[in-house]
Chain A
Amino acid sequence: MFDSIKQYLSRFSWPVWTAMTVMLVIGILAVRVAESVDPAIEGYARRQMLFAAVGMLGFFVATIIPYQRIGRYSLALFVGTLVLLVAVFFFPARRDCNRWIFIPGLETVSIQPSELAKLTFIISLAWYLRYRESYRRLRGLIAPFVLTMVPLGLIVMEPDLGTAMLLLPTLMVMLFMAGAKLRHLAVVVGLGVLVVFAPVPRAADQAEFESKIDWFNARKVGSVTFYSFNRPASGELSAWLRAPRLPVAYCRYRVGDGAVHDLQPLSVRVMSAMNKEYQVRRITGWLRPYDPRIRANVGFQQLQSIRILGAGRAAGQGDWNAVNTYFSMLPDDHTDFIFSIIGGQWGFVGCMLVLALYAVIFIFGADVAISTRDPFGRLLVMGVLALLAAQIFINVGMTMGLLPVTGMTLPLISYGGTSLLVNCVALGLLVNVAQRQPVSLAPKPFEFGRRIAPENRGRMSPVLPPRVIDGRHR
């Protein structure tokens, strides 16, 4: 008993735990800042402390149960999650979204199955991929994609575009790390881009559309006119980052008969056809950030976010009450836009601290990923890292105006019980893998670099990884 505790502690990944704990504290403080200026979220910091405690508990539980045992239940977990994702539609919608499961009448206690789905998805995919190499063929990619698309589709229908889109980079990273061929992945990504951005004729009522165009800022390139964007402020470092968005946003062209056609990306077209005006407007808001019309409504949140972030300057506002009332003018400041609160309150220093803490997790996570030789462990760690990376970059990019606004939390910091718990458990699994590194005589998994004789191509690897590394007994 004592020995096992000693062993547990000696192999415990302290840097990861420390980083996580500091971030939980930062999160609580940031929520407290948001709470102090917005009476509508009174008492959320206290609840966030509770969530942090639960998350910490989840972290330790996830470190104690051997991850292999969890892996064995991956199918059950996956199916269970799917059931929850379907069950979501039987609960009343909040803010027009069916994202939460809660007891009617007790709305404050709710869970978000899409957050759980992130975790079960990683576990299931890692479990599925661990011994295979079918994904090294194009056809073999179908199964992992189907595995992804089922929860993804359900989450999109909620709708929770942000969380759904999170699964794709995670899948890509895990396939990439498992050794899928780059050209296959490139084909898939290419197809995806083509489908999402394919230009199709605009659906909106032409007259209404025309009336909204800011012709003052239209510019003509050949026979194609790009319009509806204002020139970015000169000398802006990120001006070039926006530049490629413009042709994608809208363009119009005249064909020989003189008829005017307007184009828009297929994904936007599909979403408008599905009446998901909310999402369409978010994307157009991002595509045309300097359009004053957009600025006034959909772009408002993002603009406010950048403003608050920037106003923090080097060391932050410091003062908790006077100017910071402005924080209350940022919707979702305690959840999705917590990063701009951190930037506003503690300035560049605070933001850099948060990014540095994430860097610590990545560095030690990568160390675990290299040192473990268990294929399931390797993929699990990579899945956790990919999931974290995607969440961080989408959230931070969104608060800084580099990416469109999606409902995405900043892991370990944003207010929200399910999100916090899931991310803590994910880190727990990472530490779990670090603690349990069985000695293996088998060759390192996913090393497909060696040349294989032509007659053996497409077949099983000549050396089978022995079953024993999998098991409870060695």
Chain B
Amino acid sequence: MYNRRLIIFLVLVCVGMLVAVARLVDVQLVRGNDYADEMARAMRYTKLLPTTRGRIYDRTGARPLAIDEPCYDFSVDYRVLSREPAWLRRRTRQIARDEGISTAHAGRLLDQRIAWTYDEACRVTGTPRRQVDQNIQSVIDRVERWRRRAGTRIMEESQPHAVIRGCDSDQAVELRQRLDGMIGASVQVSSRRVYPHDDVACHIIGRVGQVSAETIEDDPNAGDVLREYAGGEVLGASGVERLTEQTLRGVRGRRVYERNGGELSYAAPVPGQDVYISIDIELQRRLQEVMARTSYNGAMVVLDVPSGEILAMVSVPTYDLNTYSKEFNVLASERVDLPLLNRAIGRAYPPGSCIKPATALAGLGDGRISLSTIFNCRGYLYVPTAFRCSSKYGHGDLALVDAIERSCNVYFYHVGELVGAERLGWWLGQLGFGRPSGLGLAGETNGLVPSSAWLWRHRHRRFFPADGRFMAIGQGLLSATPLQVANLMATVARDGVYMSPRLLMEGGPEQQVRDLKTMGISPEQIAAIQEGMRRVVNGAHGTARKHLRVGVEVCGKTGTAETSPQWFDDNENGRRDASEIAASGYMAWFSGYAPYGNPRIAFTIVQEYTPTYGGQTCGPIAQQMIGILQEFGYLP
């Protein structure tokens, strides 16, 4: 029995040995290479070196519009931010052991010190505590979202996260002196985007924002450690910052170390490339000041005629790019003035009479009218109650040049009727209406040029003759952005050559060029339209003759579009109650180019919800604008 049991014991030992040997074979012989690789990998560690974002310059190439400036971030470990229970317990026990106090007491002490950490940081940097709490919450939300996406514990859960950004060096020194008493806090070198021109061209330059989980998901560079987005990074959120993100963003550097010393490889970070935009920032500043002095919101676009480059593109009200994040809540809640909206491209207005040169081009191009075609204006089209003209008693017999000079609606009602809405829409499309301008900026609207298909889908009807008439005078369903209208003026100024506007001095989307003269429009016809527009300002009957006295010969076109008031259905009764109307009036336009004969610049000015006509409202603004352009040498 003893011997038998001894054999059983030995067999058990043998089995144990065999299991051990089998496992050794598995671990060392079968998977040994994997482990060796893993070990070699673990023996080195990689440090990613941050790169700097490229600068944005204006057209002179000497004036920076957006630069990266070194600063300091006050960061706190995520486990403190999220109050991770296990971590807190560990720290509590540690404190209890170190200080020789009870665990409960240590827990209270830890809470106090964490609270003190935040309070002290707020006090030193002058940040409101609420702001810090918000930042903490957004960090937690962000990390939680990533964690859920990853499905496992992620690195960010044990890293410091910036709670107060952009501290200057004095604050950093003061914070560093207090780090000993703080829990999980650190001061890290960082950089912040600074906009030297504050609110000038804010809509064009755009701002940077935090990388979001969605961005990381759609990252075109995902998998490339040096290029892909990482949490807590900034990326262009709007404007040129966003448009040229891939250019501005640099490539990170990488340093690979060996655990026991040596450096294995080093790749220097590649700073982002600078971007040059066609805006003249000083011109923009002056024009913005002019626009800001008016009592209405609005937009102004100034184009360089030969190249199609945008010299200035103003939208008021503006906001300060440097304080954007602090003021975001206020800015976003301004639902009447919409300061974040870039009106020059982001809002479609009824263009009113400013569209008339385009209507004339359509009529001439389709051969529906000629330069000698005469329509009689009685002050109304057929009946006195509908389709009225601006002149109460009528303009009498008018040819095209006179009709443009006097902005006669009746003449263009006839043109619209003859050309038809569908065909008019096609011509407007050729002139850049109803489609993207080609700048590539986010937040741009196409405006609306209704087609029969669009009308059928959205209004469930066919075109009526009235649609053509309304479109011909820039009312009805038609809407356009100021940039599109300015580009129409530039097209007329270039003798009928359409060029899509440009914002970037190099790179960016390809510029489209179309010559309308190949579509059946003769140079004489263009010249006639130009002559009509010259007379708008300089003629005896021009709609803007009283409002614009400048040294150059300006060609222009006024516009006064009727529009529905801006209202908010606050009580949700579906009716427009008087108290709910925020703003009402005309959309006042003045567009044109200068000088006549040798056009250099084309422009558009829009004022929202004005009580007065286009020439009256925008003429003085245009006068100042021309003066400033002369001062800057863009006009003789």
Footprint of B on A, CB under 8 Å?
A: 173, 176-177, 179, 208, 214, 216, 236-238, 292-293, 296, 306-314, 322-323, 325-326, 329, 343, 347-348, 351-352, 355, 358-359, 362, 366, 369-370, 378, 382, 385-386, 389, 392-393, 396-397, 400-402, 444-449
Contact = CB atoms under 8 A, between A and B. Distances in A.
Interface in B1-24: 1-6, 8-10, 13, 16-17, 19-24
Contacts of A348: 24-25, 28-29
B29 A314 contact: yes
Contacts of B19: 402
The 8 closest A-B pairs by CB, nearest first: A310-B35, A313-B32, A237-B26, A449-B1, A311-B36, A325-B260, A292-B152, A310-B27
Contacts of B28: 309-310, 312-314, 343, 347-348, 351
B174 interface: no
Given A310-B35, A351-B28, A397-B20, 18 more contacts: A177-B2, A179-B1, A236-B26, A237-B23, A293-B152, A306-B35, A309-B27, A322-B260, A325-B43, A348-B24, A362-B10, A385-B9, A389-B16, A393-B16, A400-B20, A400-B23, A444-B2, A448-B1
A314 B32 contact: yes
Contacts of A307: 35, 38-39, 42
Interface string B356-370: 000000000000000
Given A293-B152, A343-B24, A348-B25, A310 B2 contact: no
A323 B19 CA distance: 29
A322 B262 CA distance: 11
Nearest to A340: B27
B105 interface: no
Nearest to A450: B1
A366 B10 contact: yes
Interface string B519-558: 0000000000000000000000000000000000000000
Contacts of B36: 310-311, 313
Nearest to A449: B1
Nearest to A316: B28
B153 interface: yes
B20 A396 contact: yes
Contacts of B1: 179, 446-449
Contact of B13 (A292, A310, A329, A362): A362
B335 interface: no
A397 B25 CA distance: 14
Nearest to A293: B153
Interface residues of B, number: 41
B42 A326 contact: yes
Contacts of A292: 152-153
A370 B40 contact: no
Given A296-B153, A311-B32, A326 B9 contact: no
B31 A310 contact: yes
Contacts of A296: 153
Contacts of A214: 151-152
Contacts of B27: 306, 309-310, 343, 400
A393 B43 contact: no
Contacts of A392: 16
A321 to B, nearest CB: 8
Nearest to A446: B2
Most chain A C-beta atoms within 10 Å of own C-beta, residue among B5, B28, B32, B42: B28
B114 to A, nearest CB: 19
A323 B20 contact: no
A177 B5 contact: yes
29 contacts: A177-B2, A179-B1, A179-B2, A214-B152, A237-B25, A292-B153, A293-B153, A306-B27, A308-B35, A308-B39, A309-B24, A309-B27, A309-B35, A310-B28, A311-B35, A311-B36, A313-B36, A314-B28, A325-B259, A326-B259, A343-B24, A348-B24, A386-B9, A389-B13, A400-B24, A401-B23, A444-B2, A446-B1, A449-B4
Given A369-B6, A393-B16, A446-B2, A352 B39 contact: no
B99 to A, nearest CB: 17
Nearest to B154: A292
Nearest to A375: B2
B197 to A, nearest CB: 48
Contact of A310 (B22, B34, B151, B260): B34
Nearest to A444: B2
Contacts of A400: 20, 23-24, 27
Contacts of A309: 24, 27-28, 35
A352 B24 contact: yes
A382 to B, nearest CB: 7
A257 B29 CA distance: 52
